[in-house]
Structure 1
Amino acid sequence: MKRSGPLFTLLAGLLLALFMLSLNATTGTRSTSVGSDTPPDTSSPSPKPTATATATPEKPSRSPSPSPSKTALPTGDYAGRTDDDSSAVAVTLRDGKAVAYFCDGRDQESWLKGDVKDDGSMRLTSQKGDVLTAELTGRRIRGTVDMGQREYGFTADKALKPSGLYRATETVRGAKVDGGWIVLPNGRQVGILKRDDKPAAAPPIDPETGAVTVDGQQLTARPVTP
């Protein structure tokens, strides 16, 4: 009975030693957390500021450039002599149209008409085929009249009333009368009066009123316009 005491004491010591070893093993175990790196920041990135669209101010619409104004069409009355001083020429311009009269004061005459270009050039024709080609420069018209048998150069200057071109058409004593007159700037008159198409020198007119007496009958010669 006395021998079992030490045996129990030995067993108790072994049990205590086993308990201590078990306790140390439990408390010395390391934490087995997965991965030692710091976890990535899972917070969502701050949104980038949205660029505010700056409205570009509209350029003021440009009004279309005005069309260049057209050159005023020449207007006026012109009268002068041929270069050989044998005949007279008068030209009347209105709104881009022209009428001209060539006359030698005896038996040769021609009425011509046509258009005037913006640059002052013109080509006028008669029913008989006569042609006047000329150009207005400043206060003067310079050109030629082609009468078929002959061509005449001429110069006609700007004419002030009563100078200019006149015409009278009437029936006198049963005859058809057609007269044309050029009143030159110096007051001289050159004209032809036809009676039933028979030409003769025209009697003078009153430049202020256009009055003219033909075979005892008074007629009125009026300024000619295109």
Structure 2
Amino acid sequence: MKRPGPLLTLLAGLLLGLFMLVLNTTTGTEAASSAPRKEPPAATASPAPARSTASPRPSPSRSAVTDGSYAGRTDDGSSAVAVSVRGGRAIAYFCDGRSRESWLKGDVKDDGGLRLTGTDGAELNGTVQENTRIRGSVGIAGGHYAFTADRARKPSGLYRATATVRGARIDGGWIVLQNGRQVGVVTRGSEASAAPAIDPRTGAVTVGGRHLTPRPVTP
């Protein structure tokens, strides 16, 4: 018997190599198809910006209107105005030092606003500014008078005295300004005239032959 020739051996080697190639290709494909797929990472939401927990700054509080008295003159210099403030109430006096006068009263608002009213439609509108002055205007008998009244310190301020002399009622009002000057009106019955000056040493005044002591006016 003849041994297989070299050609046959070469052919057998080629067939074996082809078989191994096909086997490797099939095995690789199955392994690739059976491997689990990696899913792309899920997108993570960005965290919401944290809200500021800081409390808002409180608005500056308005300064309270303190008790006190104010006195001054009208812008035209013809008359004087005094205002006394206490406990959220105010009383004011306007006079020209001859015959025209008016007493007014009302409330003081938290912001210092004033709207005071008197007889015959008299009205005062103004504002307490930083507890040092009052700026406003007075309407009386058809006239309007702008004024500035500064904080008064004794003996300046608003004074009043009432009495009955020989059956006639006497009502006097005085405004003592910061420079010591006095402006006032005294009404005897229905007649008004310039008020005599208060004695700065004693605080007394003589009206119609009677000695009176005017007192500071408060609401």
TM-score by length of 1: 0.67
**Aligned pair partner of 1:177 in 170, 175, 180:** 170
CA contact (8 A) 1:80 1:156 kept: yes
Aligned: 1:194 with 2:218: no
**Residue in 1 aligned with 2:154?**
161
**Residue in 1 aligned with 2:71?**
79
Aligned: 1:141 with 2:112: no
Unaligned stretches of 5+ in structure 1?
1-67
Secondary structure at the counterpart of residue 128 of structure 1: helix
Aligned: 1:131 with 2:155: no
AA aligned opposite 2:117: T
**Aligned pair partner of 2:214 in 210, 218, 221:** 221
C-alpha deviation, 1:197, in angstroms: 2.0
AA aligned opposite 2:183: V
Unaligned stretches of 5+ in structure 2?
1-59
C-alpha deviation, 1:69, in angstroms: 8.5
Aligned: 1:211 with 2:207: no
The RMSD of aligned alpha carbons is 1.6
**Aligned pair partner of 1:94 in 69, 72, 86:** 86
C-alpha deviation, 1:75, in angstroms: 1.1
C-alpha deviation, 1:70, in angstroms: 8.2
How far apart are the structure 2 equivalents of 1:93 and 1:205? 23
**Residue in 2 aligned with 1:45?**
none
AA aligned opposite 2:109: K
**Residue in 2 aligned with 1:25?**
none
Moved runs in structure 1, 4+ residues, more than 4 A? Answer: 68-71
C-alpha deviation, 1:128, in angstroms: 1.8
- The within-5 A match list for 1:15-164 is 71-138=63-130, 139-164=132-157
How far apart are the structure 1 equivalents of 2:196 and 2:104? 22
CA separation of 1:92/1:209 partners in 2, compared to 1, >3 Å: closer, same or farther? Answer: farther
C-alpha deviation, 1:215, in angstroms: 1.9
C-alpha deviation, 1:108, in angstroms: 0.4
